[in-house]
Structure 1
Amino acid sequence: MKDNLLERVLGPTPPPAYALLYRQGHDQAEIIEGDVVDVDNLADIPLHDADGTVREVLALVPFRQVRERGYQAIDDGAPLRCLRVTARQEVPVQMLREALPATLPAIEGRGFDVPDQDYIATVSAVIGDEIGRGEGANFVIRRDFLAQADADGARVATSLLRRLLERERGAYWTFAVVTPDIILAGASPERHVSVNNGVATMNPISGTYRHPQGGVDPASFSRFLLDTKEVEELFMVVDEELKMMSQVCADGGQVLGPFLKQMSKVTHTEYLLKGHTSLDVRDVLRETMFAPTVTGSPMQNACAVIARHETKGRGYYSGVAALMTPEASGGFSLDAPILIRTAQITPGGEVRVSAGATLVRHSSPQGEVAETAGKAAGLLGALGLEAAYGAGFGAGAGSGAGSLQMAPEDIDELTSSASRVVPQPQGTPQPVPGAQTATELANDPHIRAALVARNRMLAPFWLAEQHDARSAGLTGRHAVVIDAEDRFTTMLAHQLRHLGMTVSVVPWAQVAADGEIPLPPDAEYLDLVIAGPGPGDPTDRSDPRMARLRAAVQRRLRDQAPLVAVCLSHQVVATELGLALARLDSPRQGVQLTIDYFGTPARIGFYNTFTARVEAGNSSPVRLSGGVEASIDPATGDVFALRGRGLATLQGHAESILSIDGIDVLERMVRHALGNV
Structure 2
Amino acid sequence: MHPLLDRVLASDGSLPFALLRRHGGTDVEVLTGDVVDADLLGDIPLDGAPVLAVVPYRQARERGFTVQDDGAPLRCLVVRERERVPLPDALAALPPEPVAAEPRGFDIPDDEYAGIVRRVIDDEIGQGAGANFVVMRSFEARTEAARVPALTSWFRALLVHEVGSYWTFAVHAPAPAQATGPAAAAVSLAGATPERHLTLHDGVARMNPISGTYRHPATGPTREGVLEFLHDTKENEELFMVVDEEMKMMSALCPGGGRILGPYLKQMARLSHTEYLLEGRTSADPREALRLTMFAPTVTGSPMENACTVIARHETRPRGYYSGFLALFEPDGTSYSLDAPILIRTAYLHDGGRVSVPAGATLVRHSVPEHEVAETRAKASGVLASLGLIPRGAAPDTVVDLNAQDGVAEALTARNRQLAEFWVRPQDDGPAVAEPGSPLAGRSVLVVDHEDQFTTMLAHQLRHLGMDARVVRWDAVTDVLADDLVVLGPGPGDPRDGADPRIAAVVRRIHERVAAGLPLLAVCLSHQVLAGLAGFPVRPLPAPRQGVRLEADVLGTPAAVGYYNTFGAMLATVVAADADNPVARLALEPSADADGVLTALRGPGVASVQGHLESVLSADGLTVLDTLVRHVLGVAGRTEPGMVRAG
Q: Match for 2:631: what amino acid?
A: H
State the match for 2:212 in structure 1: 207
State the match for 1:143 in structure 2: 137
State the match for 2:39 in structure 1: 40
**8 Å Cα contact 1:529/1:564 also seen in 2:** yes
Aligned CA distance change for structure 1 residues 14 and 135 (closer, same or farther; 3 Å): closer
State the match for 1:650 in structure 2: 609
Aligned match of 1:585 in 538, 542, 549? Answer: 542
Q: Distance in 1 between matches of 2:451 and 2:7?
A: 50
1:381 equivalent to 2:338? Answer: no
Q: Distance in 2 between matches of 1:367 and 1:382?
A: 23
Alignment of 1:218-617 (within 5 A): 218-328=223-333, 330-387=334-391, 437-438=399-400, 440-467=401-428, 469=432, 471-472=434-435, 473=438, 474-512=440-478, 516-517=479-480, 525-615=482-572
Q: Match for 2:293: what amino acid?
A: T
State the number of aligned residues.
608
SS in 2 for 1:122: helix
**8 Å Cα contact 1:290/1:318 also seen in 2:** yes
Q: Distance in 2 between matches of 1:216 and 1:154?
A: 35
Deviation at 1:368, TM superposition (A): 0.4
Q: Distance in 2 between matches of 1:116 and 1:12?
A: 39
Give CA-to-partner distance per residue, 1:119-175, whole Å, 9 cap, x none: 011000000000000000000001000001120222211101101101111000000
Q: Match for 2:114: what amino acid?
A: I
Deviation at 1:26, TM superposition (A): 3.1
**8 Å Cα contact 1:153/1:347 also seen in 2:** no
Deviation at 1:627, TM superposition (A): 4.4
Q: Distance in 2 between matches of 1:94 and 1:318?
A: 31
Q: Distance in 2 between matches of 1:511 and 1:253?
A: 27
Deviation at 1:386, TM superposition (A): 1.7
Aligned match of 1:172 in 145, 148, 166? Answer: 166
**8 Å Cα contact 1:218/1:435 also seen in 2:** no
Deviation at 1:648, TM superposition (A): 1.5
Q: Match for 1:299: what amino acid?
A: M
1:67 equivalent to 2:61? Answer: yes
State the match for 1:124 in structure 2: 118
**8 Å Cα contact 1:154/1:183 also seen in 2:** no
**8 Å Cα contact 1:47/1:56 also seen in 2:** yes
Q: Distance in 2 between matches of 1:3 and 1:596?
A: 67
State the match for 2:591 in structure 1: 631
Deviation at 1:94, TM superposition (A): 1.8
SS in 2 for 1:10: helix
Aligned CA distance change for structure 1 residues 94 and 537 (closer, same or farther; 3 Å): same
**8 Å Cα contact 1:182/1:347 also seen in 2:** no
Deviation at 1:12, TM superposition (A): 4.6
Q: Match for 1:580: what amino acid?
A: P
1:77 equivalent to 2:40? Answer: no
**8 Å Cα contact 1:63/1:316 also seen in 2:** yes
State the match for 1:56 in structure 2: 50
SS in 2 for 1:66: helix
| Bigger mean CA offset, 122-131 vs 538-547 | 538-547
| Bigger mean CA offset, 28-37 vs 472-481 | 472-481
State the match for 2:179 in structure 1: none
TM-score normalized with structure 1 length: 0.88
Deviation at 1:216, TM superposition (A): 1.0
1:96 equivalent to 2:90? Answer: yes
Aligned CA distance change for structure 1 residues 479 and 326 (closer, same or farther; 3 Å): same
**8 Å Cα contact 1:218/1:436 also seen in 2:** no
Deviation at 1:3, TM superposition (A): 7.7
Deviation at 1:471, TM superposition (A): 4.1
5+ long unaligned stretches in structure 1: 49-53, 391-433, 519-524, 617-623
Q: Match for 1:294: what amino acid?
A: V
Deviation at 1:445, TM superposition (A): 4.5
**8 Å Cα contact 2:11/2:148 also seen in 1:** no
Q: Match for 1:204: what amino acid?
A: P
Aligned match of 1:674 in 633, 637, 647? Answer: 633
**8 Å Cα contact 2:9/2:148 also seen in 1:** no
SS in 2 for 1:545: helix
State the match for 1:157 in structure 2: 151
Q: Distance in 1 between matches of 2:282 and 2:22?
A: 23
SS in 2 for 1:7: helix
Q: Distance in 2 between matches of 1:31 and 1:258?
A: 33
Deviation at 1:220, TM superposition (A): 1.9
SS in 2 for 1:251: coil
Q: Distance in 2 between matches of 1:544 and 1:627?
A: 27
Q: Match for 1:517: what amino acid?
A: V
Q: Match for 1:650: what amino acid?
A: V
| Bigger mean CA offset, 94-103 vs 464-473 | 464-473
Q: Distance in 2 between matches of 1:593 and 1:676?
A: 28
Aligned CA distance change for structure 1 residues 62 and 645 (closer, same or farther; 3 Å): same
Deviation at 1:179, TM superposition (A): 1.5
Q: Distance in 1 between matches of 2:227 and 2:343?
A: 29
**8 Å Cα contact 1:482/1:489 also seen in 2:** yes
Deviation at 1:14, TM superposition (A): 6.2
Q: Match for 1:310: what amino acid?
A: E
**8 Å Cα contact 1:116/1:369 also seen in 2:** yes
Q: Distance in 2 between matches of 1:566 and 1:595?
A: 16
Q: Distance in 1 between matches of 2:238 and 2:488?
A: 26
Q: Distance in 2 between matches of 1:456 and 1:435?
A: 37
Aligned CA distance change for structure 1 residues 644 and 312 (closer, same or farther; 3 Å): same
Q: Match for 1:188: what amino acid?
A: T
5+ long unaligned stretches in structure 2: 175-185, 574-583, 637-647
Q: Match for 1:505: what amino acid?
A: V
SS in 2 for 1:553: helix
**8 Å Cα contact 2:459/2:470 also seen in 1:** yes
Q: Percent identity?
A: 55
SS in 1 for 2:532: helix
Deviation at 1:376, TM superposition (A): 0.4
SS in 1 for 2:117: helix
Aligned CA distance change for structure 1 residues 3 and 452 (closer, same or farther; 3 Å): closer
Deviation at 1:13, TM superposition (A): 4.8
1:194 equivalent to 2:194? Answer: no
**8 Å Cα contact 2:96/2:153 also seen in 1:** yes
| Bigger mean CA offset, 57-66 vs 151-160 | 151-160
| Bigger mean CA offset, 361-370 vs 575-584 | 575-584
Give CA-to-partner distance per residue, 1:611-663, whole Å, 9 cap, x none: 111239xxxxxxx9634211112x32210001111112110100001101111
SS in 1 for 2:127: coil
